Chain A
Amino acid sequence: MDMILVGFFGVVFLAVALYSIRVRQGGWRWWALAAIVTLLVVGSRLSESAWPRLLLLEASAFAAAGLVWVTGAPAASRAARLYLWLLIPAVGCSLAGFALAGGGAAPPIFPIARIAAGLLIVGFGLKLALVPFYVWLPEVAEHAPPMTSALIISVVDIAAFAELVQLRVASPWIFTDYGIVWMVIALASMFGGALLALAQKDIKRMLAFSTIDDMGYLLLGVVAGGAVGLSGAWLGALSHSLFKVILFGAVGVAEKGMGKPVTLSTHGLAARYPVAAAAFIAGALGIIGVPPGFGFVGRWRLYLAGAQHGGVLLVVAMAVATGLALLYFVRAIHAVWLGPADIGEPIAPRYRLASVVLIVLVLIAVLLGLFPGVFTWLNASLAAMAG
């Protein structure tokens, strides 16, 4: 699975890099930090020992904060500072929690187990921007260049989430003994993220809340556990990664073309940026699990895990939260992209390479949704290669 994740991060970085050639995100320091972030994450996933893996992962988060900082804009610097300040306790709590938990299948003695679980919940809550610890993500998403946010969410956050999945397998007691706390955080993230997304006017900020919302779903799969829950969470994380690059990429094209942020007061962008509009619509519907996008492959498993773990009520709650997600995404699609265009907007420049990147990513997302069996095959092949 790690090999697939590494390959996935490679694709994401390649897409971000190609996109950023035409839609400039920053100077050489941005490029260097973007490469460092990806390399650290890839190194982390390739490490077999726990501590090097964790340390590389935490280092990638700090590099990501630097990525926000190098933009140079005052608002971006403020967001980077906030991210950095919250990363410190997040990393501290995670590492301390890991150390106390011991990485074993059985819980350590009282009260160490409780302290470890508490620290891990806070640490991952901060890193993954779960409710109520989400505050840094909307700030970063709003003020950082779109591909910076995409890298943070699609690579750094997803790698941190993969670590959580690994923890679920290695030390299940953290999730079974404290399942209620995880579950409350998951549901709060799902509903809180969705409702707060509905209240946003800035599209990038709304996308940040959609990540918070989606992380709630993924966490629910981890809490439910079992083959269905974990595979749902894992596939859901991959699809989230892919779709977030598409969504931020689409917004980035319009933002670059207009020279101002995309908000709900911007109208009819599809007339000027048809590829970006199509990519945004595909990304929005795909990320909430509308078939035949890749998102459905993880989403149906998560529904099944929800039904197995919490019965009808939980699965209905999940559907309601997805309904809310549909509402905020459709609101954005119809306010910003579709419909008559604003009068007086300048003619849009063409970002051909960025458009090609978006089209290829959408195609990948649809093909993976139509033929998700490729993962079964890929996993078996990689396992065979590993001997």
Chain B
Amino acid sequence: MIGRASMSPATLPTLLLLSGAVLQLAFGRFLPKIAKGWMAFLLGLASFIAALVMVPAVAGGTVIESAWFTWDAGIQMAYRIDGLAMLFTLMATGIGTAILLYSIGYMAHESEGTTRFYTLMLVFIAGLVNLVCSANLLMAYLSWEVIGLCSYFLVGFWYRQRAAVDGARKVLIMTHLAGYGLLIGIVLLYVRTGTFIWSDPSLGPAFTTGIAVLMLVAAMAKSVMFPLHTWIPEAMNAPTPVSALLHSACYVKAGVYLVARMYSLAPWNHALGGPMLVIGCLTMIVGALFALVQTDLKRLLAFSTISQLGHIVTLLSLGTNLAIAAALFYTVNHGLFKGTLFLCAGAVQQATGTRDMRQMGGLSSRMPATTRVWLIAAASIVGVPLTNGFVAKWLLFNSALEAGQIAVVMVALVVSILTAFYMLKATSSVFYGNIPDGLRNAKIKEAPLSMRSGMAALGVLCLVFGIAPQLLMQTVVGPAVRSLGFEWNAPVSWLGLLTGTADPHVTVGAIIVLAALLLGFIIYRITRPRIRKTVMVFTGGDQPQADHGVGAADFSEMAGAAFKPLYRVNPDPAYIALWRGVRGTGVALQRAMAPALERHPLVAAGLLALATLVVVWVV
């Protein structure tokens, strides 16, 4: 069923966000920082509500179409909102709004650039909405690059700092260059079919493996797939709301959208699915391994994003009904828990002035609210039941088992253990143990209300979708799966239990796990020690002295020693060699040309002209 509308509610989320950006530019000079923040948040919220309004129609199977304006001769800026577009629109506007709320408090300390910040944030979110809603592939590419530019400018927000601008440069170079794959793919599709409309049936036969590979290269760079993942840890010198938006909703997820959308064009063949499965699994492992050795909190989370995106792409590559549903559920929920983790990390950084976990500890006593939210999100990413992360992982294992991909199950299992390790390391290093000497006398206080509210909003959703995932499954994920041509009726119940196709042993297993958890909780309640100001960390033997707990450095050194050979798997030296080769060629060319052309220009020009005339004569 297709619903058509001109300048309809379909365009409202984007319009609201863009109008917010225009207002920021127009009045930013006159408004205080807090007012700019509230304005951005309220327009983000309005945009989210405008997106929510469309959910019932899209969940009912309606595809909302809307024409904006003629962008260029014969090319319409038009929207086509199906289930997949709806899912990403909700994610971008919803998580984006929470991050904007958080930004009010976070940016209140910033001395300059807040107009630039809020403008770019709003355009960033609008860019993703425009990307996923565009009916036209060329317009989608335009949005693809707009979000690329926004990320470049936002990562380099503190443009006087070398580390920030170096990170921004890496983001731009790696993602924009790979983005030409998407553009070439779109151009080749147009040459073969004469249309840029992705829902046009003629696109299917023209969508060859070669074109798919070109588009996948663009998607891989955006979604930090190995070996194009190395830009994301360097992008951590940005304001935390930027990192949160980049990782959770509006940047890495653009690549996921493209990979998923390719199912709308044509079914994947095995030549594509197999290699992507391998890349997905490798990305999972590489991200988790590198996260283990980080001592910088945001870098740890960045590597964790790489690993988590590996999970999502692996699921998309499996290509079964359940796997696609799991991938899309994972996408939204990764946005929620990763957004929360970054926002908490930002609050910690702002309170302590550092991201180095070796210089932190015991913050649970000073920042109890942040700690609680962090714990929810950390439990979620690890996959603890009652959280959305558990449901996502549960569906992942089910999908892999259903597809007969035991290797994927094993990899995911190992990566889950590693994830638990590095999250435990981060949690214990930052929030538990003793407050280090350097921070003992510092005025560490809880984040302001707007920051806590932003974090809490996402954290609460981690629990809501962990307990009742069917809320998301039936209204958002199910329609998105069906919009890609898969048959799936969202047979998911409380806590992620599959009520449809799953074998009985899966449900029995879930019940055993839940019973074990309940038993554990009861034992804990009965035997728990009285509340202490700091939490002791079990180290495997006698308790060490108070100032000799296991910290981030111990974990990192242990992991570094255990997996030493694997840390050589770093593609950056290859990129550096490539750059040196290109630049060296330029310098060599200059040296070769200079003597003739610059010292004797007239003779050289005369000879070249003569040579050209001879060539034309001979041709």
Instruction: Tell me the A residues contacting B by CB distance below 8 Å.
Output: 82, 85-86, 89, 93, 111, 114-115, 117-119, 121-122, 125-126, 132-136, 139, 178, 180-181, 192, 194-200, 231, 268, 270-271, 285, 290-292, 296-297, 300, 303-304, 307-308, 312, 315-316, 319, 322-324, 326-327, 330, 333-334, 338-341, 371-373, 375-376
Nearest CB on A from B117, distance (A): 14
Nearest CB on B from A335, distance (A): 10
Residues A326 and B177 in contact, CB atoms below 8 Å apart: yes
Q: Which residues of A contact B160 (CB under 8 A)?
A: 268, 270-271, 339-341
Given A198-B583, A268-B160, A326-B177, answer yes or no on A307-B188 (Cβ-Cβ < 8 Å).
Answer: yes
Nearest CB on A from B595, distance (A): 12
Q: Which residues of B contact A327 (CB under 8 A)?
A: 173, 579, 582-583
Q: Does B212 contact A (CB under 8 A)?
A: no
A-B contact pairs, 30 of them (CB 8 A): A82-B601, A93-B609, A111-B617, A115-B613, A118-B613, A132-B597, A132-B608, A135-B604, A135-B605, A195-B585, A195-B586, A199-B590, A285-B149, A290-B145, A290-B176, A292-B146, A300-B138, A303-B187, A307-B184, A316-B184, A324-B582, A327-B579, A330-B169, A330-B172, A340-B162, A372-B71, A372-B72, A373-B72, A375-B73, A376-B70
14 more A-B residue pairs beyond the given contacts A118-B617, A285-B149, A312-B210, with a C-beta to C-beta distance below 8 A? A82-B601, A118-B612, A122-B612, A126-B605, A133-B605, A136-B601, A178-B616, A192-B589, A292-B146, A307-B191, A327-B579, A341-B160, A373-B69, A373-B72
Cβ-neighbour of B180 out of A271, A308, A323, A373 (below 8 A): A323
Q: Which residues of A contact B619 (CB under 8 A)?
A: 178, 180-181
Nearest CB on A from B137, distance (A): 11
Which range contains the number of B residues in contact with the other chain? 35 or more
Contact bitstring B177-214, A, C-beta under 8 A = 1, else 0: 10010011001101100000000000000000010000
The CA of A303 and the CA of B149, in the complex, are separated in Å by: 21
Q: Which residues of B contact A372 (CB under 8 A)?
A: 71-72
Q: Does B28 contact A (CB under 8 A)?
A: no
The CA of A82 and the CA of B522, in the complex, are separated in Å by: 90
The CA of A339 and the CA of B612, in the complex, are separated in Å by: 45
Residues A122 and B145 in contact, CB atoms below 8 Å apart: no
Q: Which residues of A contact B589 (CB under 8 A)?
A: 192, 195-196, 199
Q: Does B598 contact A (CB under 8 A)?
A: yes
Q: Which residues of B contact A85 (CB under 8 A)?
A: 602
Closest 3 CB pairs of A and B: A198-B586, A118-B616, A199-B590
Residues B180 and A121 in contact, CB atoms below 8 Å apart: no
Residues B613 and A122 in contact, CB atoms below 8 Å apart: yes
Nearest CB on A from B482, distance (A): 31
The CA of A115 and the CA of B617, in the complex, are separated in Å by: 7
Q: Does B615 contact A (CB under 8 A)?
A: yes
The CA of A377 and the CA of B184, in the complex, are separated in Å by: 28
Nearest CB on A from B114, distance (A): 15
The CA of A381 and the CA of B438, in the complex, are separated in Å by: 71
Q: Which residues of A contact B190 (CB under 8 A)?
A: 304
Given A122-B609, A307-B187, A373-B71, answer yes or no on A135-B598 (Cβ-Cβ < 8 Å).
Answer: yes
Residues B159 and A312 in contact, CB atoms below 8 Å apart: no
Residues B165 and A338 in contact, CB atoms below 8 Å apart: yes
The CA of A304 and the CA of B200, in the complex, are separated in Å by: 19
Nearest CB on A from B5, distance (A): 21
Query: How many residue pairs at the A-B interface have CB separations less than 8 Å?
Result: 161
Residues A322 and B180 in contact, CB atoms below 8 Å apart: yes
Q: Does B356 contact A (CB under 8 A)?
A: no
Cβ-neighbour of A373 out of B70, B177, B579, B604 (below 8 A): B70
Q: Which residues of B contact A121 (CB under 8 A)?
A: 612, 616
The CA of A285 and the CA of B169, in the complex, are separated in Å by: 12
Q: Which residues of A contact B146 (CB under 8 A)?
A: 291-292
Residues B612 and A86 in contact, CB atoms below 8 Å apart: no
Q: Does B287 contact A (CB under 8 A)?
A: no
Q: Does B166 contact A (CB under 8 A)?
A: yes
Residues A197 and B586 in contact, CB atoms below 8 Å apart: yes
Q: Which residues of B contact A126 (CB under 8 A)?
A: 605, 609
Cβ-neighbour of B188 out of A114, A268, A312 (below 8 A): A312
Nearest CB on B from A336, distance (A): 12
Nearest CB on B from A75, distance (A): 13
Highest count of chain A CB atoms <10 Å: which of B162, B190, B585, B586:
B586
Cβ-neighbour of B616 out of A114, A192, A200, A373 (below 8 A): A114
Nearest CB on B from A54, distance (A): 19
Q: Which residues of A contact B609 (CB under 8 A)?
A: 89, 93, 122, 125-126, 133
Residues A339 and B191 in contact, CB atoms below 8 Å apart: no
Residues B191 and A297 in contact, CB atoms below 8 Å apart: no
The CA of A286 and the CA of B176, in the complex, are separated in Å by: 13
The CA of A85 and the CA of B609, in the complex, are separated in Å by: 14
Nearest CB on A from B555, distance (A): 33
Q: Which residues of B contact A86 (CB under 8 A)?
A: 601-602, 605
Q: Does B506 contact A (CB under 8 A)?
A: no
Residues B72 and A376 in contact, CB atoms below 8 Å apart: yes
The CA of A371 and the CA of B589, in the complex, are separated in Å by: 40
The CA of A307 and the CA of B180, in the complex, are separated in Å by: 13
Residues B587 and A199 in contact, CB atoms below 8 Å apart: yes
Residues A297 and B165 in contact, CB atoms below 8 Å apart: no
The CA of A119 and the CA of B617, in the complex, are separated in Å by: 11
Nearest CB on A from B76, distance (A): 10
Considering the complex, which residues of chain B in the window 472-531 have a beta carbon less than 8 Å from any beta carbon of chain A? none
Residues A308 and B612 in contact, CB atoms below 8 Å apart: no
* A377 closest partner in B (C-beta): B70
Q: Which residues of B contact A180 (CB under 8 A)?
A: 619
Q: Which residues of A contact B184 (CB under 8 A)?
A: 303, 307, 312, 315-316, 319
The CA of A296 and the CA of B613, in the complex, are separated in Å by: 35
Q: Does B156 contact A (CB under 8 A)?
A: yes
Considering the complex, which residues of chain B in the window 561-619 have a beta carbon less than 8 Å from any beta carbon of chain A? 579, 582-583, 585-587, 589-590, 593, 597-598, 601-602, 604-606, 608-609, 612-613, 615-617, 619
The CA of A197 and the CA of B583, in the complex, are separated in Å by: 10
